[in-house]
Structure 1
């Protein structure tokens, strides 16, 4: 922008960076760029994945989803889950697709089965056979909060009987970079899962 403004000056005016006219244009250019940056942020914050703070609260209010004690990352998951729940038909594929959209992961990363399929006798219960630990950490939800989200997407009174978060005992190939997977042990650091001393109750 500043270069364009300087090019529009007539040759009768000095274009030396130390001249008063260039200093004035520089101040104007800085203010212009600040305004453009603010407008770009406003455009981006319409997206629930980019909104923060009070802007995210406004999106949550439109969805009728209270924040409670959730931070921004957790609140995004709650809002997205609330939106998706209204579209779910209760089938396995719908449940998996809903959770994949909520957690920003691929449906192939998730695997659910009913307790009946696993040889049990409880009809209204499911087993979460696979959720990558990295997905849990990225959502900043505790395992309990994540299970609560899953139960909200399922139909009726279906509950999660058990859940397997894959990657819990994996070592990373890089010493200072956590990695997650189902490939057993390797040199490096232990994988990480967030388990706070006092788990916040979220209005899910």
Structure 2
């Protein structure tokens, strides 16, 4: 006799085999519970910022103060994370690295935040350089990135600009020209004077 795991807890005096009336009754009770658990799991996933999609992600963004516009779910999620990271920033260079890496989902070693005091002498200005262009595929995302960085720096600090780095794969042809010079040695005969 095979005992089904759903009715395993019944005492041995009851028929616990698959297909018995006890098994059928447990299936009737278990089906709505299983469906409810699936719905609950789905709702829990939609409440999480990591797994929310569509309208659920819009609700999370609206609570935080980030509105979707034309962004896809992935970039919109990153903008929400950036807003959350921005709330905890103190405006230092290291915090700017954190905010940009959250926005782009990039490693902080892939770009450079440079203070301009040692370049142009402007004490309260920065620029973000060498941002890989693979992370930004539209001008709207570029403008949103700049807006998020500007609002992450300390109040008097100015964001001078963002420089993107694009990697282009192409074939490079090069030619070399060699020039040889030929040294010709000539001997000149000098007439000798005879004494006479």
Range into which the TM-score falls when normalised by the shorter chain: 0.5 to 0.7
What secondary structure, in the 3-state scheme, does the structure 1 residue paired with 2:165 have? strand
1:15 and 1:97 mapped to 2: Cα distance? 59
- Greater radius of gyration (CA): 2
Tell me the residue number matched to 2:71.
70
Provide closer, same or farther for how the CA distance between residues 47 and 107 of structure 1 changes in structure 2, counting only shifts above 3 A.
Answer: farther
Structure 1 residues not aligned, in runs of 5+: 171-204
Superposition deviation, residue 114 in structure 1: 5.3
Decide whether the 8 Å contact of 1:81 with 1:149 is kept in 2. Answer: no
Superposition deviation, residue 116 in structure 1: 7.4
2:106 and 2:30 mapped to 1: Cα distance? 41
Decide whether the 8 Å contact of 2:110 with 2:130 is kept in 1. Answer: no
Decide whether the 8 Å contact of 1:115 with 1:161 is kept in 2. Answer: no
Per-residue CA deviation, residues 80-135 of structure 1 (Å, 9 max, x unaligned), is: 22222333333322111112233334323333335776x679985624214373xx
Pair 1:150-2:145 in alignment: yes
Match runs of 1:37-116 below 5 Å? 37-113=38-114
Structure with greater contact order relative to length (CA < 8 Å, sep ≥ 6) = 1
Superposition deviation, residue 153 in structure 1: 1.6
**Root mean square deviation of aligned Cα:** 3.2
Provide closer, same or farther for how the CA distance between residues 36 and 21 of structure 1 changes in structure 2, counting only shifts above 3 A.
Answer: same
1:168 and 1:96 mapped to 2: Cα distance? 25
TM-score (structure 1 length as normaliser): 0.61
Runs of 4+ in 1 over 6 A off after TM superposition: 119-123
Match runs of 1:1-204 below 5 Å? 3=5, 5-113=6-114, 126-131=127-132, 133=134, 136=135, 142-151=137-146, 152-154=148-150, 155=153, 157-165=158-166, 168-169=168-169
Tell me the residue number matched to 1:188.
none
Structure 2 residues not aligned, in runs of 5+: 171-196
2:139 and 2:22 mapped to 1: Cα distance? 62
Choose 154-163 or 75-84, whichever is displaced more: 154-163
Decide whether the 8 Å contact of 1:98 with 1:153 is kept in 2. Answer: yes
Superposition deviation, residue 75 in structure 1: 1.7
Decide whether the 8 Å contact of 2:66 with 2:80 is kept in 1. Answer: yes
Per-residue CA deviation, residues 133-165 of structure 1 (Å, 9 max, x unaligned), is: 3xx2xxxx5253443233122335524342114
